[in-house]
Amino acid sequence: MQAQVLSGGFSAPAIQSAQAFRGIMEAMARPGTIHTVTGSTPPAPLSAAAGAVLLTLCDADTPVHLAGARDCAEVRAWLAFHTGAPVTDPSSCMFAVGTWEALGPLTAFPVGSSEYPDRSTTLIVETPDLQPQGATLTGPGIKDRASLSVPDVGALQANHALFPLGLDFIFTSGDRLAALPRSTEVS
C-alpha cells in the first residue's frame, strides 16, 4: 500500500495542476461543457478526473468528505500524502466526493449563509458516463442552452432555488469532468 500512496500524484505538478485548474475553471464558467483533465492516477475507486480536482483544489485547510466506497484506507492515505486535506463529515466539509447515491442526502452539506454564501460545499460526483445530452441548462456562461447528463434534475432544481446559496457540482467520469454551479437553471 505504501507505494500506491506515494504514487499517483502529478509528475509535473506546476504544469499539470495549472492545466487541471484551467479545465475546472472552464467547466465552471461554461456549465455543461465537458473537459479532459489528466496527470493523476489515484487509487481506485477514485477516477483520474476526481483525483486531479482534489490535487488541484485541496490542501491542509480544505476539509474533504469521502462518501461511500471512496472512504477507504487507500484513498484517505493518498489524499493525506498528496494534499494534506483532512477528511471530515458532511456538515463541515468544503469538498465531498462520491457517487450521487453515496453523497445523499444533499441537505447534509453546507450551502453557505446570507453573510457568507461562499462557505458552501462543492460536490465531486463520480458518474459512469458524462454526455452532452439529457437535462437542459441555462444561465450564466451558457449562450442559449446546453445539455448534460445529470443524475437528478429535481434535486438540482431545488439546489438552484436556494441561489445565491447552494451547492456547486463537478461531475467526473474517467478523465473527464463537467461542472454545474448553483447559478445554473436545470430543466
Band (pLDDT 50/70/90 cuts) for residue 9 is: confident
Cell of 163: 441561489
Which residues 6+ apart lie within 8 Å of 128 measured at CB? 173
What order do you get walking across the sheet with 35-36 strand by strand? Answer: 35-36, 176-180, 168-173, 122-126, 95-99, 64-66
Question: What percent of the chain has pLDDT above 70?
Answer: 97
Q: What is the pLDDT of residue 71?
A: 98
40 pLDDT above the threshold of 80 = yes
Report in angstroms the alpha-carbon separations of 28 from 24, 57, 137, 140, 142: 6, 13, 13, 10, 11
DSSP 44: T
Question: How many Å apart are CA 21 and CA 55, to the nearest integer?
Answer: 10
Query: How high is the mean pLDDT of the chain?
Result: 95
Q: What is the pLDDT of residue 3?
A: 54
Question: What percent of the chain has pLDDT above 90?
Answer: 93
151 pLDDT above the threshold of 70 = yes
Which residues 6+ apart lie within 8 Å of 25 measured at CB? none
169 pLDDT above the threshold of 80 = yes
The answer to whether the bond into 43 is cis (omega within 30° of 0) is no
Domains of the chain with CATH codes: 2-186 (3.40.50.11310)
Query: What element of type H or E holds 23?
Result: helix 13-29
Band (pLDDT 50/70/90 cuts) for residue 8 is: confident
Band (pLDDT 50/70/90 cuts) for residue 154 is: very high
pLDDT digits (tens, 9 = 90+) for 77-121: 999 999 999 999 999 999 999 999 999 999 999 999 999 999 999
Band (pLDDT 50/70/90 cuts) for residue 2 is: low
Band (pLDDT 50/70/90 cuts) for residue 5 is: low
53 pLDDT above the threshold of 70 = yes
Cell of 4: 500506491
Taking residues 159-165, report their average pLDDT: 97
